[in-house]
């Protein structure tokens, strides 16, 4: 891969990848560090990939491994996204965002990653299994349970399907 | 609507509808009557909104140039180590051979060396010089010392680099 190809890949994938890292670890500075490390590892590995989708999946797999290493180093109780700011002046959009962030923070890191990969990135069960180091056959049921837990958290924050679906 | 959600066969159709924003009347009616699909729709919408917000964060992305540079440096370092690996092994082998020869000849070496040196005349008389300088044993010892020293020096220099 030459520098131009790398820049093209970076421009196309870095922002959504940072969003994934950010939502998984809850810290923008850390997400940026992990983002850089992800691309560095990809370049060092010499991975070329068959197409953009293949390269994207590879990046998410590296990022997920880095997140796993990060969470292993942390104590379980510190493995959470900070709670939302309750101070006045936050508009509805900010509250909705922090509500989703807060709800996600209540889930286990693996649930957060699984939900994000499945419903934001549109990854297949096989791709999720590869990224998370799980068996493909168990993804469907795990995803279903993770979804139930997130829905419960969202509903506890006053979010209802009728309000969200346009 | 059921009180307990269970996997629903409409899951894929609901995913596609939630992503496209187009709900057929039948699917819309199903969603409103199915707890699983209602929860699913909520999760999809919440994650989509969250992803959009996070992707639009004002903070600039890290500059990719240093990442590329670091990767290039790492690659060059790896190439250098790969290229010099054979040389380092030859140097190690040379040191090993020198050591082995030293050990093999050690018992009788001192005696022979003493004999060789005792045959040297320090009077610098011309007839003695060719005999001492041409002694095969001396040539071997001096060669081993010089080559062994060079190999050791090369080896330590390579490790420092």
What is the residue-level pLDDT of chain B in tens, covering all 161 positions? 444 567 788 888 888 888 788 888 888 888 888 888 888 888 888 898 888 888 878 888 999 999 999 999 998 988 888 888 888 888 888 888 887 777 767 667 777 777 777 766 555 555 555 554 556 677 777 778 888 887 777 777 655 55
**Is B43 in contact with A155 (Cβ distance < 8 A)?**
no
**Is A16 in contact with B51 (Cβ distance < 8 A)?**
yes
Please give the CATH topology (third level) of the domain spanning A89-158.
Arc Repressor Mutant, subunit A (1.10.10)
Looking at chain A, which residues constitute the CATH 1.10.1740.10 domain(s)?
Answer: 1-78
**Is B54 in contact with A18 (Cβ distance < 8 A)?**
yes
- Residues of chain B positioned with their CB less than 8 A from the CB of A103: 46
The answer on B145 and B117 residing in a single domain is yes
**Is B18 in contact with A44 (Cβ distance < 8 A)?**
no
The answer on B137 and B117 residing in a single domain is yes
Distance from the Cα of A15 to chain B's closest Cα (Å) equals 6
B55 touches chain A (CB under 8 A): yes
B145 touches chain A (CB under 8 A): no
The answer on B74 and B138 residing in a single domain is yes
Q: What is the CATH number of domain A1-78?
A: 1.10.1740.10
Sign of CA dihedral A53, A55, A59, A64: positive
The boundaries of the domain holding residue B132 are: 64-160
The answer on B49 and B78 residing in a single domain is no
Give the predicted TM-score (pTM) of the model: 0.67
Looking at chain A, which residues constitute the CATH 1.10.10.10 domain(s)?
Answer: 89-158
Nearest CA in chain B to A19: B54
């Amino acid at each position: 891969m030459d520098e131009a190809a790398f820049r093209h890949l970076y421009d196309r994938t870095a922002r959504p990848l940072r969003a994934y890292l950010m939502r998984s670890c809850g810290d923008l500075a850390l997400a940026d560090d992990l983002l850089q490390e992800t691309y560095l590892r990809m370049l060092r590995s010499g991975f070329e990939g068959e197409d953009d989708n293949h390269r994207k999946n590879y990046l998410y797999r590296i990022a997920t491994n880095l997140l796993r290493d990060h969470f292993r180093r942390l104590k379980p109780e510190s493995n959470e996204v900070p709670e939302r700011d309750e101070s006045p002046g936050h508009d509805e959009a900010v509250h909705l965002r922090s509500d989703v962030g807060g709800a996600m923070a209540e889930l286990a890191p693996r649930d957060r990653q699984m939900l994000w990969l499945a419903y934001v990135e549109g990854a297949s069960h096989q791709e999720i299994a590869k990224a998370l180091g799980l068996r493909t056959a168990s993804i469907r049921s795990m995803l279903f349970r993770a979804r139930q837990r997130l829905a419960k958290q969202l509903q506890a924050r006053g979010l209802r399907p009728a309000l969200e679906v346009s | 609507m059921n009180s307990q959600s269970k996997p629903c066969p409409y899951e894929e159709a609901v995913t596609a509808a939630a992503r496209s924003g187009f709900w057929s009347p039948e699917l819309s009616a199903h969603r409103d009557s199915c707890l699983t699909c209602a929860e699913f729709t909520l999760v999809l919408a919440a994650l989509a909104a969250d992803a959009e917000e996070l992707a639009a964060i004002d903070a600039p992305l890290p500059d990719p140039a240093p990442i590329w540079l670091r990767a290039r440096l790492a690659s060059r370092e790896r190439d250098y180590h790969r290229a010099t690996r054979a040389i380092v092994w030859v140097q190690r082998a040379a040191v090993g051979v020198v050591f082995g020869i030293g050990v093999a000849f050690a018992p009788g070496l001192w005696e022979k060396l003493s004999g060789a040196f005792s045959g040297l005349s320090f009077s610098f008389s011309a007839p003695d010089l060719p005999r001492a300088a041409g002694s095969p044993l001396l040539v071997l010892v001096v060669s081993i010392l010089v080559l062994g020293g060079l190999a050791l020096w090369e080896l330590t220099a390579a490790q420092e680099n």
